[in-house]
Amino acid sequence: MPIILKDIKKIYPGSKEPVIEGLNLTIKDGSFTVLLGPSGCGKTTTLRMIAGLEDVTEGTITVDNTDITRMEPGDRNLAMVFQNYAIYPHMSVKGNIEFGLKNYKMTKEQIAQRIKDVLELTGLTEFANRMPNQLSGGQRQRVALARAISKSPKAFLMDEPLSNLDAKLRNQMRSELIQMFKQMETTFVYVTHDQVEALTMATDIVVMHNGKIMQQGSPKEIYRNPQNIFVAQFIGDPGMNVFLLDDGNYIGFKPRGLRSSGSDRDFSFEADLLTSEFLGFDYQYTFETGMGRIVMRSIDELEPDNHYRLYVQDADLFFFDKDQNVCEPFAIGGLKGVYHADE
Amino acid sequence: MSIKKRIFRVLECVLLIILFVMFIFPFYWTLITSVKGLYEAVAYPPTFWPSEFHFENYAQAWKHADFAHFGKNSIFMSVGATIILMLSCTMAAYGFARFEFKGKKGLFFLMMADIVIPAQVIFLPIFVMYSKMKLLNTYASYFFLFVYSGGVIFFLRNAFKQVPAELVEAARLDGASEFSVMFRVMLPAVKPFMITQIMLSFISKWNGYFWIQTLTTNDHIRTLPIAMNRLSSIGEEFISAWNVTMAGNVMLMAPLLILYIFANRQIKVAFIGNGIK
Ligand SMILES: Nc1ncnc2c1ncn2[C@@H]1O[C@H](COP(=O)(O)OP(=O)(O)OP(=O)(O)O)[C@@H](O)[C@H]1O
Ligand SMILES: [Mg+2]
């Protein structure tokens, strides 16, 4: 059964402006849903409202058709994994898991069995009696995961759980999380501002901006068919190049859709090459168009300090209306300038 | 090691030795004087090692200062006041650290005022009040003084505030009740601070002189520090029995030393073994 957020509004006590308003979101049962967006867009706030750690100003949240909007966090049967692990420093690994289970109606034997199972699953068996300060960052995060798993929750809520780990460990934990997700067949709600994390792990991505949902879809949908300029420019490495046109509409193309050669039928414009960075597999070039800078990713090697005509094939063009939403192709008029959504 | 470093080390050692002597010498002096004879204790020049050991000084001190009565009072009142103080202040500090409520700012201000106003300013009204309530010379009158301390509340509130909010949130998600959050998550997380505060509280009650002296008119609830006065008046004409006085002082200090040694280890374990990270 899904988690449904309906007409959610959130105003933090002491402030007047809502940080979230009119938020409607359905998190599909058994999905790995990633809330993705720039810093301050309200991802954590949304997750904490689901967990019950933050009051909902207006609207309702339901899980399995049960209204949980005003329910105590402990009664929601959800588990949360925090960015800084939040494992109890004065309890052993075992104690950390046991603490939550004791509040359930379970016998001593059931608890012991459950602890044994989760420790095995997370590869922590040999650390069962260690104190948290005798564990590495990765092991601590694993304890937090074990604690969450042990409760067999209806959903796992995770707020940037990997951001405190170094790059290598992060990759490793990422694949472990994916495996865990496949084994559990439970809903995961995962917050991050790292699009690589989102694209690799999610079944569903929810892109947020200023407390609003900009687009929800599978990683492929989000990547290939951005619904608006914000998503187009936020996703991708780097994001989409967008021109504002004289008539107020926009056109865009991805850095990989830009070519240094093409035919007369293609959309084209002139630009000076400013910088080139060799990235191993390909190059990243920055051009000055006279109306602003654009970026190109290409395996072609270009001469530095040169003047170029750049081409985009029709299939690689994206069209946006005055409201910055994707629309039917139109005849391209004069270019007014390069546009960045975040400026 | 460079010469500069070596000189630095030597200076460091010398300084440590000076400090050591400064702190240890009074202890040493008290200890050896407590076993000297009546005349040797006041002899000039003083001796640094007793020529004879008079352990009976301790028996004398015990008898004359009535350790049985005053010692019992000291233990009962110090332990009792510390328990009462810690119970009430921990809960108040927890409230200030964790909850938002109407009048919080005002209450906090009142609490801070308690830190600034010295006891000497309020003892007279308290004395008058106790006397009218017929509470003078009762244990209750003493314990009432310690249901509350702005300093302790402030200290513990800051300790509670340092505990990461996520710990409490994790506990709430684990279905823990408010009491469980307090006793099983928050208190263990601030254990070193609690132990420090219990120590400080106990020491100040054990050594406390002012309140007991001002709020009593007889010996019923008086404690050891006051009883020590009696020891200087024994001895012979023109010679105070310093040896017996020192023996009394050693017995007065001993529990604190033992407590310190024990708690010191506890504090270290708590800080190093269980640091909040
Ligand atoms: N306790 C609070 N009181 C007032 N405002 C808050 C509080 N917590 C967050 N905010 C505000 O709400 C907005 C959303 O914050 P939130 O923490 O949900 O962002 P986020 O998307 O998780 O960002 P990040 O990626 O940096 O973690 C921000 O503008 C933030 O300043
Ligand atoms: Mg956040």
pLDDT number for residue B264? 78
pLDDT tens-digit series, residues B55-65:
888 988 898 88
* Distance separating the N- and C-terminal Cα atoms of chain A: 40
Which structural domain, as residue segments, surrounds residue A329? 236-339
Residues A120 and A174 in one domain: yes
- pLDDT of B1 higher than 70: no
Residues A66 and A105 in one domain: yes
pLDDT number for residue A343? 57
pLDDT number for residue A55? 94
Residue A165, domain member (yes or no): yes
Task: Give the minimum alpha-carbon distance from A12 to chain B in angstroms, rounded to a whole number.
Answer: 14
Residues A219 and A249 in one domain: no
Q: What is the mean pLDDT of residues A91-119?
A: 91
pLDDT band at B276 (very low <50, low <70, confident <90, very high): very low
Task: Give the minimum alpha-carbon distance from B167 to chain A in angstroms, rounded to a whole number.
Answer: 5
Element holding A289 (H helix, E strand): none
CATH number at residue A286: 2.40.50.140
Looking at every residue in chain B, the average pLDDT score rounds to 88
Residues A137 and A285 in one domain: no
Q: Provide, rounded to the nearest whole percent, the portion of chain B with pLDDT above 90.
A: 44
Is residue B128 within 8 A of residue A48, CB to CB? The reply is no
List the single best residue of B163, B169, B174 to mutate versus A (max A Cβ within 10 A). B174
Is residue A334 within 8 A of residue A245, CB to CB? The reply is yes
What is the chain A residue with the closest CA to B172?
A74
Interface of A with B (CB under 8 A): 13, 51-53, 72-75, 78-80, 82, 84, 86-91, 99-100, 103-104, 131-133, 147, 151
Q: List ligand 1's pocket residues with C-beta within 6 A.
A: A 12, 15, 19, 37, 39-45, 193
Q: Per mean pLDDT, which range of A140-154, B79-93, B107-121, B125-139 is the poorest? A: B107-121
Tokens of A37: 């967006």
pLDDT band at B269 (very low <50, low <70, confident <90, very high): low
pLDDT tens-digit series, residues A111-135:
999 999 999 988 899 999 999 999 9
Q: Phi and psi (nearest 5°) for A260?
A: -90, -5
Residue A230, domain member (yes or no): no
Is residue A254 within 8 A of residue A236, CB to CB? The reply is yes
CA B148 – CA A255 distance, rounded (Å): 68
pLDDT number for residue B275? 44
Residues A147 and A122 in one domain: yes
Residues A192 and A58 in one domain: yes
pLDDT tens-digit series, residues A231-272:
999 998 889 999 999 999 999 999 999 999 999 889 999 999
Q: What is the mean pLDDT of residues B72-100?
A: 94
pLDDT tens-digit series, residues B60-85:
889 888 989 999 999 999 999 999 99
pLDDT number for residue B277? 39
Q: What is the mean pLDDT of residues B224-231?
A: 88
If DSSP states are collapsed to H, E and C, what string results for B215-263?
HCCCCCCCCHHHHCHHHHCCEECCEECHHHHHHHHHHHHHHHHHHHHHH
- pLDDT of B273 higher than 60: no
Q: What is the mean pLDDT of residues B104-130?
A: 89
Cα A211 to ligand 1 centroid, rounded to whole Å: 10
Residues A120 and A254 in one domain: no
Residue A220, domain member (yes or no): yes
Alpha helices by DSSP H, chain B: 3-33, 38-42, 56-64, 67-98, 104-116, 119-132, 139-144, 150-162, 165-173, 178-180, 187-189, 191-207, 210-215, 224-227, 229-232, 242-268
pLDDT tens-digit series, residues B162-179:
999 999 999 999 999 988
Residues A145 and A43 in one domain: yes
Q: Domains in chain A: how many in total?
A: 2
CATH number at residue A217: 3.40.50.300
pLDDT tens-digit series, residues A204-222:
999 999 999 999 999 999 9
Among residues A200, A224, A248, which one ends one of the domains?
Answer: A224
CA B4 – CA A340 distance, rounded (Å): 60
Residues A250 and A102 in one domain: no
Q: Which long-range contacts (CB under 8 A, 24 or more apart) does B142-145 make?
A: B142/B77, B142/B81, B142/B211, B142/B212, B142/B215, B142/B221, B143/B77, B143/B80, B143/B81, B143/B84, B145/B81, B145/B211, B145/B215
- pLDDT of A1 higher than 80: no
Residue A229, domain member (yes or no): no
Residues A215 and A92 in one domain: yes
B274: contact with A, CB 8 A cutoff: yes
What domains does chain B contain, in order, with CATH numbers? 59-272 (1.10.3720.10)
More confident residue, B207 or B46: B207
pLDDT band at A303 (very low <50, low <70, confident <90, very high): confident
Looking at every residue in chain A, the average pLDDT score rounds to 92
Test A103 with B175 for CB contact under 8 angstroms: yes
Interface confidence, given as ipTM, is 0.83
pLDDT band at A166 (very low <50, low <70, confident <90, very high): confident
Strands B239-240 and B235-236, how do they pair?
antiparallel
Is residue A47 within 8 A of residue A35, CB to CB? The reply is yes
